[in-house]
Amino acid sequence: MLEALYRGLTALAGPAVRRLLDRRLAAGKEDPLRLPERLGHAGLPRPPGRLIWLHAASMGESMAVLPLIDRLLTLSPRSTVLITTGTVTSAALMAKRLPPGAIHQFVPVDLPAAVARFMDHWRPDAALWIESEFWPNLLRALRKAQVPAALVNARLSAGSHRNWRRAPRTAHRLLSTFRLALAQTATEAGRLRDLGLADVRCVGNLKYSTSPLPAEPQALAAFKAAVGDRPTWVFASTHPGEDDLAVQAHQRLAPRIPGLLTLVVPRHPARGPEVAAAFQARGLTVSRRATGALPDATDALHVADTLGELGLFFRLAPVAAIGGSFVPVGGHNPIEPAQLGAAIVYGPHMHNFAEIAATLEAAGGARRVPDVDGLAAAVHTLLTDPDARAAQAAAAKAVADDNRDAVDRVMAALAPLLAEAGLHLTGDAR
């Protein structure tokens, strides 16, 4: 009943959705050259042969799925992987990171006509949706076309679970699209079963299987030369409200740590000028990566407002604070700095990575702090006590290394579904 009502309302919502897309375009949240893709008009021809559709909502999910894409193309080299995302930042990262045999498109908005155009053009043989984005019209189209589908690296928050339980028949109908769900944690597996999904397994988190973030060697060498032996820490993937915390922490630490350099990486690079201006208004000397500047000896802070360079700054700074965790966003992926040997600090809001955070903390590989006082204290300890820093970084890297085989378990679980879709794997899926 609710699904039919939703379909009817979205069939009438075309003009309103187009106005919304225009507003997003004006705000820089859509790609003007690829806007038709959002309405289901393909930007590329469909390659011949089998096509596996992976949908990852945004940047974090699309990064997590890269090892799965590599494995699929290795084991089924005659197939094509189509990955869809919904943000311009994820599209830019996919342009840099996708291997040959994989192509990117923007996911269509969930209007019946847009979905029909998308499905008619791409005709996927299998669909793997990442984490927990459920669009009713897209899922209905998959069921109608009888496309074998799985939910991979599935995540369902307590709040989303409560919301879906208010409409159990609709939840069951939508989730019935998926023959299989591979949950990140046992808790989330239980939530999915509670909503009626029969085959749910807990096989680990794909984020552990991602390759270390890359860094351009010449850029890294230039930054190392510019920074020299200055004590340096990075506050990565900051959201509004956290940039000010970076300044507060810096001002508390600078009198006790001569020459301190604080690197701030906004989650959304377009905020760079705004962030730098706010720092300058506090009387601090600031440089910005997007202008091509390197931090010089007079800079207190450096704003790293470029895309896809976190690997550079995690290699440069031995201490990394995780953004999105000091405001109620849910945190960002702590495995990325762990893989590169940084000592990790984060705030109280890590619910998007609760299991990973708990594992790191239990191993002594991360410090959770409540506020800016705790942040400054932790960074001070880690920058001034090399032994403590090395022990914490080593513990975090061990957690990352010990769980790298998550993609093997995911592929083993998916092998029967892929075979049903006619995708003949050339090797052992594990």
Confidence band for 6, pLDDT divided at 50, 70 and 90: confident
pLDDT of residue 193: 94
- pLDDT tens digits for 269-303? 999 999 999 999 999 999 999 999 999 999 999 99
Asked if pLDDT for residue 133 goes beyond 90, the answer is no
pLDDT of residue 134: 86
Whether pTM exceeds 0.75: yes
> Bridge-partner residues for 289, per DSSP?
none
Average pLDDT for residues 101-124, to the nearest whole number?
97
Confidence band for 427, pLDDT divided at 50, 70 and 90: low
Annotated active-site residue 336? The verdict is no
Per-residue CA distances from 381 to 177, 323, 375 (Å): 50, 19, 10
pLDDT of residue 383: 98
Q: Let me know the angle formed at the C-alpha of 188 by 182 and 193, rounded to the nearest 5 degrees.
A: 75
Helix (H, G, I), strand (E, B) or coil at 83: strand
- pLDDT tens digits for 349-402? 999 899 999 999 999 999 999 999 999 999 999 999 999 999 999 999 999 999
Would you say the CATH fold of 217-403 matches that of 1-210+406-421? yes
Edge-to-edge strands of the sheet including 366-368?
286-288, 301-303, 261-266, 232-238, 319-322, 343-346, 366-368
Assign domain 1-210+406-421 to its CATH architecture: 3-Layer(aba) Sandwich (3.40)
What percent of the chain has a predicted confidence (pLDDT) above 70? 99
Asked if pLDDT for residue 424 goes beyond 80, the answer is no
Q: Please count the residues of the chain.
A: 430
pLDDT of residue 428: 54
- pLDDT tens digits for 216-275? 999 999 999 999 999 999 999 999 999 999 999 999 999 999 999 999 999 999 999 999
pLDDT of residue 12: 84
Asked if pLDDT for residue 329 goes beyond 60, the answer is yes
In this structure, is the dihedral angle defined by the CA atoms of residues 153, 391, 345 and 229, taken in order, positive or negative?
Answer: negative
12 vs 223: which has the higher pLDDT: 223
Residues 52/423, Cβ–Cβ less than 8 Å: yes
Assign domain 217-403 to its CATH architecture: 3-Layer(aba) Sandwich (3.40)
Q: How far apart are CA 23 and CA 25, in angstroms?
A: 5
pLDDT of residue 214: 94
- pLDDT tens digits for 301-317? 999 999 999 999 999 99
Confidence band for 182, pLDDT divided at 50, 70 and 90: very high
Which of 61, 242, 309, 361 is the catalytic position? 61
Give domain limits for the chain.
1-210+406-421, 217-403
pLDDT of residue 159: 86
pLDDT of residue 401: 95
Asked if pLDDT for residue 202 goes beyond 80, the answer is yes
pLDDT of residue 208: 94
pLDDT of residue 1: 64
Average pLDDT for residues 159-182, to the nearest whole number?
91
Q: How far apart are CA 116 and CA 416, in angstroms?
A: 27
Instruction: Collect all residues with Cβ–Cβ distance below 8 Å to 136 and sequence separation of at least 6.
Output: 3, 6, 7, 110, 174
pLDDT of residue 4: 80
Average pLDDT for residues 135-163, to the nearest whole number?
93
What percent of the chain has a predicted confidence (pLDDT) above 90? 83
As a whole number, the mean pLDDT across the chain is 94
7 vs 54: which has the higher pLDDT: 54
Q: How far apart are CA 327 and CA 203, in angstroms?
A: 30
pLDDT of residue 13: 86
pLDDT of residue 284: 95
Asked if pLDDT for residue 132 goes beyond 80, the answer is no
